Amino acid sequence: MSDALIGELRTLLTEVVGKDAEDVQPGDDLVEKLGIDSLTGLRFLAVIEKKYELRFPDHHLADIRSLDKVSEFIIESREGGAA
């Protein structure tokens, strides 16, 4: 996992959620930590899809609830191994 990537994701999360995400740890469940709802979660993932030019498979959306999971998916996508 890249610290720079986690930092970028925190910045995007702050912009989308409208709450400071600096204290969000990579493994924190974003729903529990920030109280985001499913619509906000989808907006966050849509911003990431656009920025990193990738697509989250619909069947994985419910599992991507932490910055760790998001960054893992981005890295795997860049390497051509995302499912």
- Give the residue extent of every domain in the chain: 3-78
Please give the average per-residue pLDDT across 62-67, as a whole number: 90
Q: Output the pLDDT for position 82.
A: 56
Task: Work out the pLDDT band at 7, boundaries 50, 70, 90.
Answer: very high
Euclidean distance between CA atoms 7 and 13, whole angstroms = 10
Indicate whether 83 pLDDT > 70: no
Distance CA(80)–CA(83), nearest Å, equals 9
Percent of the chain with pLDDT over 90: 64
pTM of the model: 0.87
What Rg, from alpha-carbon coordinates, does the chain have?
12
- If you average pLDDT over residues 50-58, what whole number do you get? 93
Q: What is each CA distance from 28 to 19, 25, 52, 53, in whole angstroms?
A: 15, 5, 22, 24
What SS3 state is found at 41? helix
Choosing among 1.10.1200.10, 2.40.340.10, 3.30.530.20, 1.20.58.60, the CATH entry for 3-78 is: 1.10.1200.10
